[in-house]
């Protein structure tokens, strides 16, 4: 399935039904009078978070949604039926914006959550409403109001506990494959990951967390190079970032220290908030280094970076060190959850 994480659609709430002008005319009733009923309210438009959806691709095929119009009022003081609401299913994690003003309308983060995005028109008034002591036979009524029309821009931000950062071919997809049941494409050429992947990582019998692998960044991503930074929004809900680095790159431009600096620069350009997220350094592919050189090489990278945060040495390909990494991630998430409650 193609992954789509941003779309623009139009939604139209139902118009209110018109009020009715009507009078009682019954054979054995001496005095008649107004009996025109009110119209019905127009239906509203809601976004509804659906657990089983994970992309916005359906909106590429349908871009206009409209709720039902309220029925007009009728004689004998009969009120028109309210229009049916239009419910639009979206993935959990969808954020809705007014495309014309840029205002955020709401954020759907819980399954079943409903968000009103367009309000239906109000019902019109029948002539019975205008009867008074000085106006016994009013011939006026009020039409229903027009339902709200809105252009929505919707973004999908994946819900994950941990996000993976790194240059193409750093081993992010291999890592998520090694620790979860996710099976992203893995190959020995850049940009094998073209859209984000989620994997559930189990730690022990009862504990687990969700890991997100996004397409690799390259220098200039903030200006649109490579796949750009369009997928970085998916990291904004995470609690922890893992910066995966290839300790034994074939190409000189992917030298570990430069790789880290490149990603740091792109994060700062994209979002100061995201650049300040908790981030651990994960030195990957240690299996490609001779055993006697591994410790010294990894320490050399840490020293050159002046890195003061957590550091892990792993081989995603052989799973060496991945279990210990996952254990510490779970421990961190538990502690973080305790502090936030």
Q: Which residues fall within 8 angstroms of residue 222, CB to CB, at 6 or more apart?
A: 228, 229, 266, 269, 270
Same fold, 6-156 and 162-337: no
215 annotated as a binding-site residue: yes
Query: How much is the pLDDT for 41?
Result: 98
pTM: 0.72
Has 216 been labeled as part of a binding site? yes
Is residue 316 marked as binding?
A: yes
Residue 109 assigned to a binding site: no
Residue 177's alpha-carbon distances to 122, 145, 180, in angstroms, are 54, 55, 5
Please tell me whether 246 is known to bind a ligand.
no
Is 59 among the annotated ligand-binding positions?
Answer: no
Q: Is 28 annotated as a binding residue?
A: no
Helix (H, G, I), strand (E, B) or coil at 115: strand
Distance CA 66, CA 43 (A): 9
Burial class for 113, CB neighbours closer than 10 Å (0-12, 13-18, 19+): middle
Q: What pLDDT is recorded for position 160?
A: 84
169 assigned binding-site residue? yes
Tell me whether residue 191 is annotated as binding. yes
pLDDT given at position 246: 92
pLDDT score, position 188? 47
Domain boundaries, the chain: 6-156, 162-337
Question: Token pair of 69, please?
Answer: 């119009």
**Token pair belonging to 302:** 């840490």
Is 194 annotated to bind a ligand? Reply is yes
CATH tag for 162-337 (out of 3.30.1490.100, 3.40.50.300, 3.40.50.720, 2.30.110.20): 3.40.50.300
Q: Which tokens sit at 270?
A: 């994209």
| Architecture of the domain made up of 6-156 | Distorted Sandwich (2.70)
Looking at residue 341, what is its pLDDT?
A: 42
| Residues of the chain scoring pLDDT < 50 | 1-2, 185-193, 225-227, 339-341
Q: Is 214 annotated as a binding residue?
A: yes
How far apart CA 13 and CA 120 sit, in angstroms, is: 5
15 vs 144: CA distance, rounded Å: 7
- For 195-244, how does the pLDDT look when each residue is reduced to its tens digit (9 = 90+)? 677 888 988 778 889 898 887 665 555 555 444 556 677 788 889 999 99
Contacts of 266 by beta carbon, 8 Å cutoff, 6+ apart: 217, 219, 221, 222, 229
Does 172 belong to an annotated binding site? yes
The whole-angstrom separation of Cα 192 and Cα 215 is 8
To the question of whether residue 286 is assigned a binding role by annotation, the answer is yes
Quickly tell me which residue has 């050399």 as its tokens.
Answer: 300
Which pLDDT belongs to residue 187? 43
266 by DSSP, 3-state: which?
helix
Is 322 annotated as ligand-binding? no
Predicted local distance difference test score (pLDDT) of residue 196: 74
What is the per-residue pLDDT across 290-337, written as a single tens digit (0 to 9) for each? Answer: 988 899 999 999 999 999 999 999 999 999 999 999 999 999 999 877
- How far is Cα 306 from Cα 319, in angstroms, rounded to an integer? 27
Residue 128, token pair as written in the block: 């019975």
- C-alpha pair distances (Å), 287 with each of 65, 66, 292, 298, 301: 54, 58, 11, 12, 16
Q: Judging by DSSP bridges, how do beta strands 94-98 and 149-156 pair with one another?
A: antiparallel
314 annotated as ligand-binding: no
168 is in an annotated binding site: yes
Chain centroid, CA 208 distance in Å: 22
188 is in an annotated binding site: no
Per the annotation, does 288 bind a ligand? no
User: CA-to-CA distance for 339 and 40, rounded, in angstroms?
Assistant: 50
Asked whether residue 254 is marked as a ligand-binding residue, the answer is no
The reported pLDDT for the residue numbered 320 is 94
Per residue in 184-215, is it b (16+ CB within 10 Å) or e — as a string? bebeeeeebbebbbbbebebeeeebbbbbbbb
Residue 138 assigned ligand-binding role: no
Q: Which one, of 294, 301, 205, lies nearest residue 245 by Cα?
A: 301
């Amino acid at each position: 399935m193609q992954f789509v994480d941003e779309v623009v659609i139009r939604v139209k709430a139902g118009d209110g039904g018109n009020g009715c002008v009507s009078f009682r005319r019954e054979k054995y009733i001496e005095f008649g009078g107004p009996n025109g009923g009110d119209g019905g309210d127009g239906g509203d438009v809601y976004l509804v978070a659906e657990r089983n959806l994970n992309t916005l691709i359906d909106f590429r095929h349908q871009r206009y949604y409209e709720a039902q119009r309220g029925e007009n009022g009728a004689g004998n003081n009969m009120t028109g039926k309210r229009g049916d609401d239009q419910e639009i299913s979206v993935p959990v994690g969808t954020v809705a914006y007014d495309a014309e003003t840029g205002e955020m309308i709401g954020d759907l983060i819980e399954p079943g959550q409903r968000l009103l995005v367009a309000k239906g028109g109000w019902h019109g008034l029948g002539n019975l409403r205008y009867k008074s002591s000085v106006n016994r036979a009013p011939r006026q009524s009020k039409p229903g109001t027009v339902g709200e029309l809105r252009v929505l821009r919707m973004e999908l931000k994946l819900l994950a506990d941990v996000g993976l950062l790194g240059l193409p071919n750093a081993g992010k997809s291999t890592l998520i494959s090694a620790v979860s049941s996710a099976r992203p494409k893995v190959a020995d050429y850049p940009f094998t990951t073209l859209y984000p992947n989620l994997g559930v990582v189990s730690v022990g019998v009862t504990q687990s967390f969700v890991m997100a692998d996004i397409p690799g960044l390259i220098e200039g991503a903030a200006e649109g190079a490579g796949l750009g930074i369009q997928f970085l929004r998916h990291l904004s809900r995470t609690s922890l970032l893992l910066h995966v680095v290839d300790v034994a790159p074939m190409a000189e431009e992917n030298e570990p220290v430069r790789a880290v600096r490149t990603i740091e620069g792109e994060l700062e350009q994209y979002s100061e908030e995201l650049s300040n997220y908790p981030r651990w350094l994960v030195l990957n592919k240690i299996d490609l280094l001779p055993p006697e050189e591994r410790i010294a090489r990894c320490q050399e990278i840490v020293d050159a970076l002046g890195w003061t945060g957590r550091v892990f040495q792993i081989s995603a390909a052989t799973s060496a060190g991945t279990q210990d990494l996952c254990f510490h991630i779970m421990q961190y998430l538990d502690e973080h959850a305790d502090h936030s409650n």
